[in-house]
Structure 1
Amino acid sequence: MTEPECPENVVPAATDAVEAAAEVGSELGVDRRTFLRMGAGAAATLAVTACADDGVAGDGEDTGTDTGGDDEVGSTDETGTETGSSDDTTDSTETETTETTEESTETEGEETDTTGGEDPCLEGEIIDFDPEALDYEEQLFPLAVMAGEMRPESVMLAVYIDDAQPKTLRVWLPTDTPGQVELVKEMEVTPNADGYLKVTVDGLCPGTWYRYGYFTSDGQSFLGRSLLGEVRTAIAEDSLEPVVVAMSACNGSSFDWPALDRTAEEYYDVFCHLGDMAYNDGAFSTGEYRDRWKQYLSAQGFKDVYGLAGLYATWDDHEITDNSDFDRETNDPNELEKKSNALNAYFEVLPIEGGEGNFQLWRSFRWGLTAEFIVLDCRYERLPSQGEYMTQAQMDWLKQTLLDSPCHFKVILNSVPITNMPFIWDIAASDRWEGFPDSRSELLNFIDDEQIENIWFISGDFHVCFVSRIESMGANLAARTREIAVTGGNTNILGSSLTLSGHFDYGAGQPRGCVLTFDPSTDSVNCRFINPDGGDDYNEDLTQD
């Protein structure tokens, strides 16, 4: 093997060094995603080891791939999740619960793990268990496994189970020993009568990568499994480490999404979806909306990216229907029933707290002192007759959240862009922030008045990818605030023309993968738009100035 050229420093904040070091990892047989998730210390150790006199680590030599006890280098399962090498002869029928597992409180289709006690971060138990040795039962678990609502000590998991019968959920940490894991949680989980399950698992450790899966058994041993997923809890409240985010929107109805395929090769801590995840136009009944979601979440692209990290999501119009076919202020009982069916289906299938009449989507999640993710509802609280882009309650909450946030970056999940778009786009201005000038001015004036720095909007809807400052001119803080938009499937011929306007650094009308690294140590956000055909279309470290 040719000895790789070694970078002098390998740290997440130094993008060029990380990319160079990733090439070192490739030379050593470590795939890109696994290498990138090692973290600065492990990556540096691997690079240094590779640059030793003999060029590579010897047999049995420590290669520096420790990730704090929660990952190892190995093969890839159906979700694209890296796992340790497995021994097919290992007994995978272990059904003992760990000492940290107790009875759970159950409601139909939704459960909450009540373990943890006073200690929010309990150790698991090392057991013989090889989940990959079990067959994936696709007919029983046909959709993506998903995680969401990530907080430092808890996550929500969601799955569809076709036979609507109880299953065993296991959450574990990998170990360095093939065929063994550190079992953290085991629960019997029961979906609702229609097969949908959401369960909150708590007692977890901050900033830790956990793996999870659902298993069938005959009462004595495990027989099969779902896809296997992994999720990272939000980092500790005092942490200032970089946080990596992948994002997508506007996937369209082709079910073939090369941009998502490419994204699944990247490392990310969080996946953000900015709306139009499913195109449900024409659906009316609950059953029809469920069928559409099953189509989308059985697509390989979603199975891949959602199995690799937890999800924060907002909706746009197509989660119900195209905006031109729906009056948000309607009093028509049929339209209200359609809306209720659509929103119930959304909360039913995704790992988002709420549903059954509680459709408040706006919420926020802090990742240490690095970033606060602020999820908005920019669709279904609009009151066009009153010029309100969102209810005053949501606006007041948003402003207070921005004001109170201790985080370096405030990341607003904003389904429809807030940027002042070029004149040719104004034909559709009524469908975005610009069509509600009082609401837009209220927020931007608040940002200026309070001098709240490092607000970053991320958005979708327009079927374009872009990087902008939200105003075409002006030196005030709000004008210099950045927005990054993405499309993961649909296209727009006007996308490439955006750079003709001076406040757009990048514009494309074709789907791209998008990965953002929020790094408080450099006060910058690295933004990469990844061409599905290979390479980066755009890779820049951005600041607000």
Structure 2
Amino acid sequence: MGRPTRRSILKGVAAGLTLAACGSNTSSGVDVDAGDTPDARPIQPPDSLTESTSFRLGISAGDLAADRVVLWSYYTGTAPLVAIVWRIGDGDTYVEELGPFEATRSDAGFIHVPVTGLLPGARYRYAFVELDGEARVARSQIGRFRAPIADNASEVLTFGAVACTDESKPIDALARASERADLDAFLFCGDNAYCDGATSLADYRAKYIAHFGRPEHVALRASAGMYITWDDHEVKNDWNPETIDEAQLATAFKTFFEHAPLTEATPRRIWRSARWGKTAEIFVLDCRSERLPSTILSSTPQYISAEQMTWLKLGLASSTATFKIIINSVPITNMPSVWDAYPTDRWEAYGAQRTEILKFIDDSAITGVLWLSGDFHLAFISKVSTSGPGANQREVLCGPGGQSSNVLVSTLNAPQFSFATGTNNYTTLRLDPATREVKVAYHDGAGTEFHSESFIP
């Protein structure tokens, strides 16, 4: 049988598709030099404004697309607010001002501001500004993000990543990541807030304040645009979607979206994708809320919904990006047998569906797939399977950003695992479309790169 064509793959996947794409899939045909000089208009740099104390959780930028972004904050003050964005040119100069954009607070103080009119690949700064009449009198901290490169562009990109940041543990690694200015975006892979014990809306909000309000977390989220998913601790440890109290789950969803720079175009839909030119496409999965543990022993176990699976297949098959990064929260790797004492929390317990997606990638000859995960309180670089579907696919486990090391790290050895560590870290992925290589590097709380390796996924 000949190698499948992209057209044949897409036809097969689209036949089962009930929704073509999630609301935040990104696409831009614009290819504008980020250094172009804009039409003359007044620019008021924010640096001289006093920093307000009313933005206690900082600011962040997410749902990044080539021409748009969602800006986020939490505001406890009473002044009228706007969001303003500045494009940065050579020499770290302000070359264009966008806005002001209306910044409307929810009753609880959360702000989500959609911003359009970005230039693909350009670097930006942004801030929320307090007004007295039309005068700008104070501001939030100043954040940074880069707009994804144009669809027809191809260049080296570097993403940061982390998972598992417990507010009771040091998170020096996040502080070191925030000091970098070369990260194109940052990927939060789950367990970003440990909400165990929370049941009410006030409980959940307090947990997020305890986590996201730490100076290191505030600094990191302001330092680069971000993509984010959740894992179990954003709800409670090892929660079961089939048995959890619906009111509690609704509260956990509400709090997640309140604190994330995301649009919720479809209620409760976390999964989405983002295009970074010809270099990379990022697929953010929700591997928690759609699983059905009661189906584990059936012939059709469900780890993610059929809708999410079909969307993922279509996205992977249609992507023309060199690298397809799948943010997965819990590893898909076939773990050593000692880990099977508790297998029900990961893809392996839902074997038929795990095989389905791995075999689809293999049979469709989709190259450049890299699974990116967290959850295990350790980091590793692995072959997803020792044989069969997934044997040629790779997974990177990032973090933990602030957690105790998993004692089973010593069981992860060659040849399946080329590296494993329990050291708290942030992870970087350097994606080179010319060589098709990804360089994975781990950085500790002192900022030291203590391991790196390159491979072609």
Q: Which range, TM-score by smaller chain? A: 0.7 to 0.9
Query: Per the alignment, do residues 424 and 201 of structure 1 end up closer, same or farther by CA in structure 2, a change over 3 Å counting?
Result: same
Residue 365 of structure 1: which of 274, 286, 290 is its match?
274
Structure 1 residues 32-431: aligned runs within 5 Å: 69=35, 123=38, 125-127=40-42, 129-138=44-53, 140-163=54-77, 165-174=79-88, 182-254=96-168, 256-266=170-180, 267-323=182-238, 326-330=239-243, 335-354=245-264, 358-386=267-295, 387-431=301-345
Structure 1 residue 144: deviation in Å?
Answer: 2.0
2:379–2:420 contact (8 Å) kept in structure 1: yes
DSSP 3-state at the match of 1:150: coil
Structure 1 residue 181: deviation in Å?
Answer: 5.2
DSSP 3-state at the match of 1:430: coil
Amino acid aligned to 1:528: A
Structure 1 residue 308: deviation in Å?
Answer: 1.4
Query: Per the alignment, do residues 541 and 296 of structure 1 end up closer, same or farther by CA in structure 2, a change over 3 Å counting?
Result: same
Amino acid aligned to 1:287: A
What's the Cα RMSD here? 2.1
1:245–1:268 contact (8 Å) kept in structure 2: yes
Structure 1 residue 518: deviation in Å?
Answer: 1.0
Structure 1 residue 176: deviation in Å?
Answer: 6.9
Partners of 2:256 and 2:174 lie apart in 1 by 21
Residue 430 of structure 2: which of 486, 497, 517 is its match?
517
Query: Per the alignment, do residues 124 and 169 of structure 1 end up closer, same or farther by CA in structure 2, a change over 3 Å counting?
Result: farther
2:101–2:113 contact (8 Å) kept in structure 1: no
Unaligned runs of 5+ in 2: 1-32, 296-300
Amino acid aligned to 1:367: W
Partners of 1:444 and 1:281 lie apart in 2 by 32
Structure 1 residue 352: deviation in Å?
Answer: 1.3
Q: Which has the higher contact order (CA 8 A, sep 6+)?
A: 2
1:230–1:309 contact (8 Å) kept in structure 2: yes
User: Structure 1 length as normaliser, TM-score?
Assistant: 0.73
Amino acid aligned to 1:385: S
Cα displacement string for residues 62-99 of structure 1 (whole angstroms, at most 9, x for unaligned residues): xxxxx9549xxxxxxxxxxxxxxxxxxxxxxxxxxxxx
1:146–1:159 contact (8 Å) kept in structure 2: yes
Structure 1 residue 496: deviation in Å?
Answer: 4.0
1:123–1:184 contact (8 Å) kept in structure 2: no
Structure 1 residue 301: deviation in Å?
Answer: 1.4
Partners of 2:419 and 2:92 lie apart in 1 by 46
Amino acid aligned to 2:423: Q
1:495–1:509 contact (8 Å) kept in structure 2: no
Amino acid aligned to 1:416: V
1:275–1:415 contact (8 Å) kept in structure 2: yes
Residue 526 of structure 1: which of 439, 442, 448 is its match?
439
Identity of aligned residues (%): 35
Give the paired residue count.
418
Cα displacement string for residues 437-488 of structure 1 (whole angstroms, at most 9, x for unaligned residues): 01101111111211111110000000011111111246x6x21111001211
Cα displacement string for residues 341-382 of structure 1 (whole angstroms, at most 9, x for unaligned residues): 110111112111117x80011111111111110011100100
Structure 1 residue 541: deviation in Å?
Answer: 1.6
2:173–2:447 contact (8 Å) kept in structure 1: no
Query: Per the alignment, do residues 495 and 519 of structure 1 end up closer, same or farther by CA in structure 2, a change over 3 Å counting?
Result: farther
DSSP 3-state at the match of 1:317: coil
1:126–1:181 contact (8 Å) kept in structure 2: no
1:495–1:507 contact (8 Å) kept in structure 2: no
Cα displacement string for residues 20-51 of structure 1 (whole angstroms, at most 9, x for unaligned residues): xxxxxxxxxxxxxxxxxxxxxxxxxxxxxxxx
Cα displacement string for residues 199-256 of structure 1 (whole angstroms, at most 9, x for unaligned residues): 1101111011111101112215222110111111111000111111000000112263
